[in-house]
Each structure stands twice: as structure tokens, then as C-alpha cells.
Amino acid sequence: MLQFHPPGIGQQVVETSLGAMVYYTPVGAPWTPAPADAPTLLFLHGFGGGASAYEWSKVYPAFLDTHRVLVPDLIGWGQSAHPARDYRVEDYLTTLTEFVEKTCTTPVTVVASSLTGAIAVRLAVGRSDLFNALFLVCPSGFSDFGQDAGRRLPLQIINTPLLNQLIYTLGATHEAAVRNFLERFLFAQPDRISPETVAAYLESAQQPNAQYAALAFLQGNLYFDLARYIGQLKTPTTILWGEKAQFTPVEQGRRLACLNPTAVQFFLRLQGTGVLPALEQPETVTGLLQWFLWKGLNSGDRDTPEDATSVTPAAISTGN
């Protein structure tokens, strides 16, 4: 997957209880080592066939000069280990905690999307000592408020051995199928899907045993109700929501933000994007993350940026 990341980025490895977790970080020119006291930014990709650290490849380079940047492939995805197992959300709670403990000596700021954003909330609730702040894109447990949002095929089909693997093979491991998946479900504007994006998703989806984690997501084995946890969150958080995100509509994001207006300091609705704004509008996401890190987070300034439709939790609660 290195060809899908900027020059000077290399792969490092951390061993977890479920195997090796590969992560991407600067190893040479044109990047200089971050200062010893530089804050850590941890970018976590979402789930879905072909997902990997590539999701953040157009955003994280903007922070390499000012932060220690770590961008892992989660277990079961990308270049990390793909154990053949029935994945559960506890697998990611455990391995991500292990990753942070082994790579970071100070609290980290997490940038995460979709289901992994919801997992980041649970991690911050359980281990607040590990986290400085959260910047979350469309965070959802996919069973929020008791409603399954992500399941698109009948359980009888996707739980049938061999048949579910055939569905994965046909739907995620061929170029035309990958492009169709990105167009129909992940991007709001298909003309923003580059050949590189299709190739990166295809390479990740074709890794040996890649179907196990993807099918666990498709079957709903990783789902949970984020509404049960977000009210316990104390870590400063900003939520960015693609206005045209499928399965997890922006109204759901507002409801989640309203459950904890103290921790969720900003809720930003990003126009013209789906669930992958980091690939669909990377310049805007980069600017919003810079604002969060250097103004919204550090100064406590409650003024919202101008390059997204912005709604604070107080406004959400009044229905504005």
C-alpha cells in the first residue's frame, strides 16, 4: 500500500494480541522528524470492503511538520494481520488500546471515521488517560438508538457460509465492483473518485483473509448503540458529518451530539459529501482539522469556521 501514500512515508509494525498492526509514518525526505515534544495525531480509517489507512492519505501530510503522525491499518484491513476469526467490536477496543499504549507516551488526538469513530468514543470513555481530543467523521455504532443502519442484505444470506464469501468476492475484489460500491454508498459525487482510490480499495480488499473483517461488519457483528456511550464522554470532541452520508443521516449525528453538549463542542455539517469527506473533499477536511487543533481546541474559541455549515450543540438542541 506504500504506493498510495506520499513519498517519504514508510511502514512500521506494532505487535498486538491479534497480530501485527502496520502503521504509516514519516521515515525520510522530504519530511523532517517531528520535535520530541510534538503532539501525536492518530488517524483511524473506517470499515467496509477495501478500507485502509489510505482513507486519510490526502489529509495527514498537512500535519507532518507539526505533529507526530501515526496512520494504522486496523487488524483485518490493509496490510495488517488478517486472522481468520469471527470479529467482534472488543477485538478493536483491545488492539487499538494496545497500539496506543505501545506507540504513545502522552495522550493522543484521534481522527477517526464511521464505526471507528464510535469505537474511539468507547475507548475514550474507558481510558480517558490515553486521549487528548477526538475529531470524528460521521461516528456511528450502526445500531444507534436501537436501529440498525448499515445492514444491506438479509441475515439469512450474509450468514450463509460460502454464499457470504461469494458475495464478498463478487462485490469487493473486482475493479468494477469496487467503483460501483464507492459510487453508490460512499461518495456523494462520483466524479471525485480517482483511479488511485479504486486501486487502493481493491488492493486492500484482495489481501488474504480480508473477507473476515469485512463480513463481520456486513453481518452486523461489530454494531453497537453509540447513544449508550457518548453521554459518558469527557474528552473534547468535534464531529464532522457529510451531509449526504448514507445509512447514517445527519439528523442522527445531531441527536448523538445533543446527548453530550459538554464534550461535543462542535458539530459541523459538511455539504456535498458522503461518508468519506477525507477523500471527497480533503482540502476542506484538512482546513477543519487545522482549525480544530490550532483554534477551536487550543484557545477554546467557540467561533465556528466558515467553510462548512456549522451547528453548535446548543443550536442543535433548539432545532436550529
> 3-state DSSP call for residue 62?
helix
Q: What CATH number does residue 66 fall under?
A: 3.40.50.1820
- CB contact at 8 A, 40 and 109: yes
Q: What is the 3-state secondary structure (H, E, C) of 246-281?
A: CCCCHHHHHHHHHCCCCCEEEEEEECCCCCCHHHHC
> 3-state DSSP call for residue 53?
helix
Domain limits at 83? Answer: 2-317
* Cut 0.75: pTM above it: yes
pLDDT at 310: 45
Encoded amino acid at 252, one letter: Q
- CB contact at 8 A, 138 and 241: yes
Largest Cα separation within the chain, whole Å, is 54
pLDDT at 34: 82
What does the DSSP 8-state code read for residue 124? H
User: Residue 267 and residue 314: Cα distance in Å, rounded?
Assistant: 10
Structurally, the chain folds into a number of domains equal to: 1
User: Residue 289 and residue 38: Cα distance in Å, rounded?
Assistant: 16
pLDDT at 171: 64
User: Residue 81 and residue 75: Cα distance in Å, rounded?
Assistant: 6
CA distances from 287 to 18, 58, 84, 307 (A): 35, 12, 39, 8
Report the mean per-residue pLDDT for the chain: 88
| Digitized pLDDT (tens) for each residue of the chain, 320 residues in all | 889 999 999 999 999 999 999 999 999 999 988 887 899 999 999 998 899 999 999 999 999 999 999 999 999 999 999 999 999 999 999 999 999 999 999 999 999 999 999 999 999 999 999 999 999 999 999 999 988 765 554 444 445 554 456 567 666 678 998 998 899 999 999 999 999 999 999 999 999 999 999 989 988 899 999 999 999 999 999 999 999 998 899 999 999 999 999 999 999 999 999 999 999 999 999 999 999 998 756 655 555 554 444 433 333 332 33
pLDDT at 218: 86
Backbone angles phi, psi at 220, to 5 degrees: 90, 10
pLDDT at 301: 52
